[in-house]
Amino acid sequence: MKTLLRRGALGLAAGALSLAGLMPAAHARAGAPVPIADAGSVVAWGNYAEETTIPAALDGVPVTAIAGGPNYSLALTAGGDVVAWGRSGSGAPLTVPSEATHVTAIAAGGTSAVALKSDGTVAAWGADTSGIPNVPEGLDHVVSIDASTASVAAAVKSDGTVVEWGTAATTTAWKVPTPLPRVTQVALGTAHALALTSDHYVIAWGSSIQGNTTIPADIQGRVIAVAAGGFTSAALLDDHTVRVWGADAATPVPTGLAGQQVTDLDVATASGGPVIASTASGEVFSWGGSGADTTAMTTVPTDLDGQPVAAVAEGSTQGLALVTSYRKLTEAAITGTPKFGKTLTLKPATFSLKPDSVSTQWLANGAPIAGATGATLPLTADQLGKQISVVQTAVRGTETLTSTSHAVGPVAKADATLAVKISPKKLTKATLKKAKAKATVTANGLTPTGTVTIYFKNKLVAAATLSNGKATLKLKKLKKLAKNKKKLKLQTRYGGDGTTNTATTSTTIKLKH
């Protein structure tokens, strides 16, 4: 059954457009959903309308995983819910139970289905005669699942052990071999099982039919994912090529796959079903099989060509593809301090797919700022008191997405730094009338204007107007105010201007005898 080899999360930032629209795969354990960045919509094809008509429950809902069974399909939404559809009256497990919530992976068996939950437990439903809905008591710490059409389900636990259950699981053919090395994935066919070990070897057990359990020796140690269905086995190798053995081994792998990186692989559940694979370039190939529905299953819709296919799956009579939808992953954001003279910086929005173009526009109180279309915004007097936001418009083909940041502000005046030097350095009460104060006001590279005043005990000593951010104040009034003081604590105040805040500093003068 299903194996998942996933493209890496695309999370494409609008400001990092050198990334490719489709990425090479990064493999994952079987049954794992695609990363949320790769979530999208389901495409189905085959002979039966009930199987190929996507249910309304999935309209506009991002899907992260798909699975195909006999006459039915499953989809896992980004919200952790499972949706089932297919031919009614066929015995398919179309009624998803209420306990199948917070689901992280799915598997489609024959008349039963299995779901892995976020807490590591398993939910199963369908025909009681299969024994699969009767999940073993205490089964937990599960990391991967699969199900067979032969009334067998399997789970891989976090310690690498495999647990099987179902009415056929107790038969000799289905007995899990022991000892078994640490397993990372298990895939179930109609009469056999494949286990992928942590060292990339494959172990098979079950009924040997048409060579389905005879592992090609030259692939051992190179396998990164496996798939099984009917009497066919398949593996994805570390060079992203496919190897097939068993019932479909006689059918050559399509020549179109030559030189391509395969990203996902599955084998149909039916004994005479085909193999399906998707590539990093956005192509889907389906081949092999000998059943009545093979032609319909191997006729992949042409409109999938070049699409960002994140996953593929096959049931007994239908093919499935999960196509990444173009959507926002994160909104644009602003970093920096909203003050005059400072610079705000755009943190670009991210999108599930690479946009063809992205434009940026900064806004003040919702209105465009002329010429402000870059990654940064130096704040000027025009923005004082206003809320600043930024909007990005990302176009891909005929689709347009818009991302608007939260506003920051209002833009405040610049903070001022006030420095004062008293001269001469050595002052006595006699020479105090010659004292001067040199005041310098700076503000983030600006040149503040306005008035500087000096007070002693809240009494005005001197005042002066800044010139190029500096002023010299004569302190001759101090002699009269000082009286017999040995220390004089002066307070210097800058009154601010239209773009700069006020500032205050204290200076102490020690009088020499």
> Is there a contact between 282 and 306 (Cβ–Cβ < 8 Å)?
yes
Q: The CATH number of the domain where 309 resides is what?
A: 2.130.10.30
CB under 8 A, 24+ apart: contacts of 236-245: 236/3, 236/5, 236/27, 236/262, 236/265, 238/200, 240/24, 240/25, 240/280, 242/275, 242/277, 243/216, 243/219, 244/275, 244/288, 245/211, 245/212, 245/214, 245/215, 245/216
Q: The CATH number of the domain where 339 resides is what?
A: 2.60.40.2700
pLDDT band at 278 (very low <50, low <70, confident <90, very high): very high
Residue 451 lies in a domain: yes
Residue spans of alpha helices (H) in 93-178: none
Tens digits of residue pLDDT in 93-152: 999 999 999 999 999 999 999 999 999 999 999 999 999 999 999 999 999 999 999 999
- Closest by CA position to 506, among listed 494, 481, 489: 489
Q: The CATH number of the domain where 508 resides is what?
A: 2.60.40.10
Kind and range of the H or E run holding 162: strand 162-165
Residue 5 lies in a domain: no
- Closest by CA position to 91, among listed 146, 137, 128: 128
Residues 234 and 120 in one domain: yes
Residue 392 lies in a domain: yes
Residues 333 and 301 in one domain: no
Separation of alpha carbons 97 and 244, rounded Å? 36
Residues 301 and 334 in one domain: no
Give mean pLDDT, residues 321-341. 95
pLDDT at 386 over 90: yes
- The one-letter amino acid code at 407 reads A
- Closest by CA position to 244, among listed 189, 177, 165: 189
Question: Pairing relation of β-strands 5-7 and 503-512?
Answer: unpaired
Of 290, 308, 324, the domain-final residue = 324
Question: Residue 282 region, left (φ>0) first, then alpha (ψ -120 to 50), else beta?
Answer: left
Does the pTM surpass 0.85? The reply is: no
Q: State residue 1's pLDDT score.
A: 59
- Residue 48, CA atoms < 13 Å, CB-side half-sphere: 19
Separation of alpha carbons 368 and 166, rounded Å? 64
Residue 205 lies in a domain: yes
> Is there a contact between 67 and 6 (Cβ–Cβ < 8 Å)?
no
Classified as helix, coil or strand, 479 is helix
Separation of alpha carbons 300 and 444, rounded Å? 63
What torsion, rounded to 10 degrees, do the Cα atoms 102, 107, 110, 112 define?
A: -20
Got the DSSP string for 3-40? B-EEEPP--EETT-TTS-SS--EEE--TTPPPPGGG-E
Give mean pLDDT, residues 348-374. 97
> Is there a contact between 34 and 6 (Cβ–Cβ < 8 Å)?
yes
Separation of alpha carbons 299 and 285, rounded Å? 9
Residues 147 and 253 in one domain: yes
Residues 180 and 256 in one domain: yes
Separation of alpha carbons 418 and 505, rounded Å? 7
Tens digits of residue pLDDT in 53-87: 999 999 999 999 999 999 999 999 999 999 999 99
Of 324, 353, 373, the domain-final residue = 324
Residues 390 and 496 in one domain: no
Residues 398 and 424 in one domain: no
pLDDT at 306 over 60: yes
Residues 305 and 339 in one domain: no
- Closest by CA position to 342, among listed 439, 419, 409, 441: 409
Residues 76 and 44 in one domain: yes
Question: Would you call 450 exposed, middle or buried from its count of C-beta atoms within 10 A (0-12, 13-18, 19+)?
Answer: middle
Q: State residue 432's pLDDT score.
A: 85
> Is there a contact between 365 and 327 (Cβ–Cβ < 8 Å)?
no
- Residue 60, CA atoms < 13 Å, CB-side half-sphere: 0
Residue 153 lies in a domain: yes
pLDDT at 20 over 70: no
Residues 195 and 296 in one domain: yes
Classified as helix, coil or strand, 472 is strand
Task: Pick the more confident residue, 213 or 90.
Answer: 213
The structural domain count of the chain equals: 3
Two structure tokens written together for 292:
């009545």
Got the DSSP string for 431-442? TGGG-EEEEEEE
Residue 196 lies in a domain: yes
CB under 8 A, 24+ apart: contacts of 283-290: 283/256, 283/309, 284/309, 284/312, 284/321, 285/254, 285/256, 285/257, 286/314, 286/319, 287/248, 287/251, 287/252, 287/253, 287/254, 288/232, 288/244, 288/247, 288/248, 288/251, 289/248, 289/251, 290/247
DSSP E strands: which ranges in 241-303? 242-246, 262-267, 275-279, 284-287
User: Which structural domain range is residue 368 located in?
Assistant: 328-404
Mean of pLDDT over the chain: 90
**Residues pairing with 197 in the sheet:** 183
Q: State residue 2's pLDDT score.
A: 52
pLDDT at 22 over 60: no
Residues 318 and 352 in one domain: no
Classified as helix, coil or strand, 474 is strand
Percent of the chain with pLDDT over 90: 79
Residues 398 and 482 in one domain: no
Question: Would you call 473 exposed, middle or buried from its count of C-beta atoms within 10 A (0-12, 13-18, 19+)?
Answer: buried
Residue 312 lies in a domain: yes
* 333-335 β-sheet, strand order: 333-335, 343-347, 376-378
pLDDT band at 32 (very low <50, low <70, confident <90, very high): low
pLDDT band at 513 (very low <50, low <70, confident <90, very high): low
Cβ atoms within 10 A of the Cβ of 72, count? 28
Burial 254-264 (b: 16+ CB within 10 A, else e): beebeebbbbb
Q: State residue 478's pLDDT score.
A: 86
Residue 447 lies in a domain: yes
Of 324, 347, 378, the domain-final residue = 324
